[in-house]
Amino acid sequence: MPTAKRIKVRVNPEKCQGHNRCKALSPELFELDEYGNSKEIGDGTVPPEFEDKAWLARANCPEFAVEIIED
């Protein structure tokens, strides 16, 4: 049986300017640091039920800072 594919989110710290859309859309996947910049929670692994939110967050970051890693 094929194993389910998991995706991960990652915030590129060099691109993030703290627009906060990622966290507003997907608070389960992103947290803000003390400067208001975003970071993936934990190792960024996205539970299947939040995959849509991960893609939405990526699509809505004006700095293209949200990356999605597909294994």
Q: Which two tokens stand for residue 40?
A: 């993936």
Closest CA to 57 of 6, 5, 15, 10: 10
By the 10 Å C-beta count (0-12 exposed, 13-18 middle, 19+ buried), 64 is classed as exposed
Min dist CB 28 to ligand F3S, Å, is 14
Stretch 50-69 residues interacting with ligand F3S (CB under 6 A): 61, 63, 65-66
Query: x-or-dash pattern for ligand F3S, window 18-37, by CB under 6 A?
Result: xxxxx--------------x
| Residues that bind ligand F3S in the complex, under the rule CB under 6 A | 11, 16-22, 37-38, 61, 63, 65-66
